Amino acid sequence: MFVRITRDAIDPAAVLASVGASDHGAEVLFLGVVRDHNEGRPVASILYEAYEAMAERVLATLVAEAEARRPGIRIAAVHRVGELQVGEVSLAVAVSSAHRAEAFDAARELIEEVKRRLPVWKEERYTDGERRWLDGHTPPVPEAAR
Amino acid sequence: MRIRLLLFALYRDLAGTSQLDVELPPGATAATLVEAVRSRGGGFARIPRDAIVAVNREYAPSETPLSDGDEVALIPPVAGG
């Protein structure tokens, strides 16, 4: 399993190369990229912050869960932290499987789970110098033991 | 007991610090810790009462009992991707 939280630039080809198998006919690569606007405001950069020690564990859990839902598929996921400029890759997810449908589905589901559960935050930095932590998702918490 | 508290993103900015040690009575839970932190006042008081916590790097319910030396993080709503 190829799972990382990294401060370095993501190499999408390396993430894609870490999945695949001789009986896999489909490989899907998703890249999350810093966009130059949000809610009508021009964005200069985004600061990604993570609870790194926990985030790498959570990401590994999400990937393991996704692989268990579709036995035989392979998944790689890398999330970058630090200040990223417009056009830089913040998240790369690669999935390979026997057929395309489950590769697309697994990639989509993993990305949604990352947004819901990974302890990562982003502060948008606008071209006018203002900054703002973006509203996020409240992660699900296990029930209390009885 | 002594707890190592970690604060991230918005909560760190509100508190003005990314980590501090908090002394709690025996029997304290994650909820006790959040209340103790909020009672420091100022920006700490703006951390929500129902803030999500992670105990030793795992999401945990607020009733979770704490032990001396635990690492507890207050987790603002997450926004990765």
Q: How far is CA B39 from the centre of its chain?
A: 12
* Residue of A4, A30, A35, A51 to mutate for B, most B C-beta atoms under 10 A: A51
Count of A-B CB contacts under 8 Å: 91
Average pLDDT over residues B9-30: 97
Average pLDDT over residues B40-64: 97
Given an 8 Å threshold on Cβ–Cβ distance, is A121 in contact with B79? yes
Say what the pLDDT of residue B13 is. 97
Nearest to A120 among B59, B61, B79 (CB): B79
Cα dihedral across residues A102, A18, A1, B78: positive or negative: negative
Given an 8 Å threshold on Cβ–Cβ distance, is A142 in contact with B59? yes
Position A144 pLDDT exceeds 90: no
Longest dimension (CA), chain B: 39
Nearest to A51 among B13, B61, B73 (CB): B73
pTM: 0.95
Say what the pLDDT of residue A44 is. 96
Strand partners, A28: A95
Say what the pLDDT of residue A41 is. 94
pLDDT digits (tens, 9 = 90+) for A13-50: 999 999 999 999 999 999 999 999 999 999 999 999 99
Position B37 pLDDT exceeds 80: yes
Position B7 pLDDT exceeds 80: yes
In terms of phi and psi (left: phi > 0; alpha: psi -120 to 50; beta: otherwise), the region of B27 is left
Say what the pLDDT of residue A1 is. 73
Position A146 pLDDT exceeds 70: no
The pLDDT mean for chain B works out to 97
Question: Closest approach of chain B CAs to the CA of A71, in angstroms?
Answer: 25
Average pLDDT over residues B23-45: 97
Nearest to B8 among A49, A141, A142 (CB): A49
pLDDT digits (tens, 9 = 90+) for A69-109: 999 999 999 999 999 999 999 999 999 999 999 999 999 99
Given an 8 Å threshold on Cβ–Cβ distance, is A135 in contact with B78? no
Question: Closest approach of chain A CAs to the CA of B23, in angstroms?
Answer: 23
Q: Does B60 touch chain A (CB under 8 A)?
A: yes
B45's tokens: 């008081």
Average pLDDT over residues B59-72: 98
Rounded Cα–Cα distance for residues A77 and A63 (Å): 8
Instruction: Tell how strand B19-23 and strand B71-75 pair up.
Output: unpaired
Question: Closest approach of chain B CAs to the CA of A123, in angstroms?
Answer: 8
pLDDT digits (tens, 9 = 90+) for A113-128: 999 999 999 999 999 9
